[in-house]
Homo-oligomer: A and B are copies of this chain.
């Protein structure tokens, strides 16, 4: 898990007086970019190696408004990674009072530069390994989901 801080810009507010909800989606991208860079697989590195990771889905729940000039701490973690799909989760909270502003997630596939889906495990096993190592509970196998569940059930 990595922490990213975004300070709210004036131009991100709307006439309700707080941040417009579309910006949280952008903050998730900012945090994701920083997160992947920290893992050594930045967007630049990926694109240089011929990999794009388009967003195939996003979701966000808004719990408290965020205000101009407030510092927002964003926690990022990989919640699942299957052969063709990566899911990342985000928790955004105010650094003023610790209150949770929003939670969200994004889903990504991987394609080559022509847009054709690729399985990182086959085409770029080193990157696949880096992502897999971030999975909770060492779920490092693509077929791990049931195993994890049973592992958790044993507790």
Cβ contact within 8 Å between A60 and B62 = no
| Integer count of this chain's copies in the complex | 4
Q: Closest Cβ of chain B: how far from A28's Cβ, in Å?
A: 9
A54 cross-chain contacts in B, Cβ below 8 A? 16, 62, 65
Count of residues in A whose CB is under 8 Å from the partner chain: 34
A33 cross-chain contacts in B, Cβ below 8 A? 9-10, 69
Contact of A130 with B by CB under 8 A: no
Contact of A129 with B by CB under 8 A: no
For A23, the closest partner residue in chain B by CB is: B22
The 0/1 profile, CB within 8 Å of B marked 1, for residues 39-67 of chain A is 00011100000001011111111100100
Contact of A116 with B by CB under 8 A: no
For A111, the closest partner residue in chain B by CB is: B16
Q: Closest Cβ of chain B: how far from A129's Cβ, in Å?
A: 23
Tell me what chain A mostly uses at the interface: helix, strand, loop, or mixed: mixed
The 0/1 profile, CB within 8 Å of B marked 1, for residues 61-77 of chain A is 11001001100000000
A58 cross-chain contacts in B, Cβ below 8 A? 21, 25, 58-60
- Most chain B CB within 10 A, of A21, A23, A42, A60, is at A21
A59 cross-chain contacts in B, Cβ below 8 A? 57-60
User: When chains A and B are docked, how far (Å) is the Cα of A20 from the Cα of B106?
Assistant: 14
A26 cross-chain contacts in B, Cβ below 8 A? 9, 11, 22
